[in-house]
Amino acid sequence: MYNIVIIGLGVVGTGMAEILHNKKEILKKKYGFEYKIVGICDLIKGSIYDENGLDLGEVLKLNKEKGVIGDYPCKEKGLTSVDMITKPEVDIVAEVTPTDVKTGEPGLTHFKTALEHKKHVVSTNKGPIALKYKELRDLAEKNKVYLGFEGTVISGTPAINLGTRDLAGCNIKSVKGILNGTTNYILTQMEEGRSYEEVLKEAQQKGYAETDPTADVEGYDPLAKIVILANAVMGGDVNINDVYREGITGITLEDVETAKKEGKRIKLIGRAWKQNGKVTAQVKPESLPVTDPLANVMGVLNAITFETDVTGDVTIIGPGAGAYTAGYAMVTDMLEIHRRF
C-alpha cells in the first residue's frame, strides 16, 4: 500500500487524481498496485492531510463545485508543501506545480526535499528536470528512490521510456521532434493561407495557447523538452542557457508557401545530436521534406524521431498536452515504482 501526496491541484493534478480515483480497482486487480491519497496541497485551493487516506471522490467533488478543498473534513489542514512531503508515512510525491524554466521553483525544492527524505517523485514539471536533471538523478540513486518524469516531454506519449528503456542497447545518435502542439497547430493552419495573427488568436480561444503565448511561440517550451531529452535519453550535459532557440514569430505566409512549392513543410523542431563525443541541442523552424514522418504530423499532435544504430529511425506520435494524458504519465511512473521497488 503506497501513501501518495499530490502537490498542486491544477488541471493536470486534477486529471491525475481523477484517473487514480476512477481506476483504483483496475490498477489493484491488474497490477497489484494499491494506494491511498493521504494529502493534497495547493497554494490556492488549500491543504488537507489524513494519514488514513482522503476520500478522493469527495475531494474531487468539492474541487469541482467550489474550486477549493479546504472545507474537506480531515485531521490536518494548512500544512505547507514541504511539511506534507516530509511526513514519515509518505511514499510517493506527485509534484504538479506550474513550470518555471528559469529557476525551477517551487518544484525544484519539492523534488530535492522528497528525494532527500527517501520519497519517490513523479512529475510533469519540466523546470527541475530541464535545469538540474543530473543532480536530481544522482540524489534519487543515492537514496534508492525513483524519479519519474515521463510526462515532461510529450505528456502521456511514452517518449522518455521509449528512449531510456525500450531502446536500451541502441546508440541513439540523434533526437528530433515536434515538441509543442500550439506552434504545430499554428503552422498547420498557416498552410491553409491563414495569417499567424489570426491563427494565434483562434488557438488562444480554443485553449491551445495561453493569453501570453511567449513560452510556445518563442520556443521556450520545446527548449526545455529537448534539453530533457538530450540529458536524460542521450546522456548529455546540456545547459538550457547554452541552447540556440528560435520560435515561429518570424515565419510568414510567404515562407510557408515557398516550402510547400518545394515539397516541404515548416515545423518547429527541437533537435539534439552527438558531435565529437558531446551532445548538442537547438530549437528552430526547419523546412522538412514531406517524406519525413515529422512533416506529416499536423494540428496539435507532437512527435519524436530517435535515430539509432540498430533499429534505424523510430518515430512516436501522440498528444502532447491535456489533463488526462499528462495525468496518465504520472500514473505510469507510479506503476514503474511498483514494478521496481
Catalytic residues: 225
Q: What are the distances in angstroms from CA 203 to CA 153, 183, 211? A: 21, 9, 10
Q: Are 81 and 106 in contact (CB under 8 A)?
A: yes
Distance CA 95, CA 186 (A): 30
* Grid cell listed for 41: 496541497
φ and ψ at 24, to 5 degrees?
-55, -50
Reported in sequence order, the residue ranges of the chain that DSSP labels E, i.e. its strands, are: 2-7, 35-42, 46-49, 76-77, 92-95, 120-123, 147-148, 172-178, 244-245, 264-275, 278-289, 301-308, 313-319
φ and ψ at 159, to 5 degrees?
-75, -45
Distance CA 180, CA 154 (A): 8
* Sheet with 264-275, edge to edge strand ranges: 244-245, 278-289, 264-275, 172-178, 301-308, 313-319
Angle at 38 between CA 324 and CA 25, to 5 degrees: 55
Q: Are 337 and 330 in contact (CB under 8 A)?
A: no
Distance CA 242, CA 280 (A): 9
DSSP notation for 18-70: HHHHHTHHHHHHHH---EEEEEEEETTTEEEE-TT---HHHHHHHHHHHS--T
CB atoms within 10 A of CB 229: 30
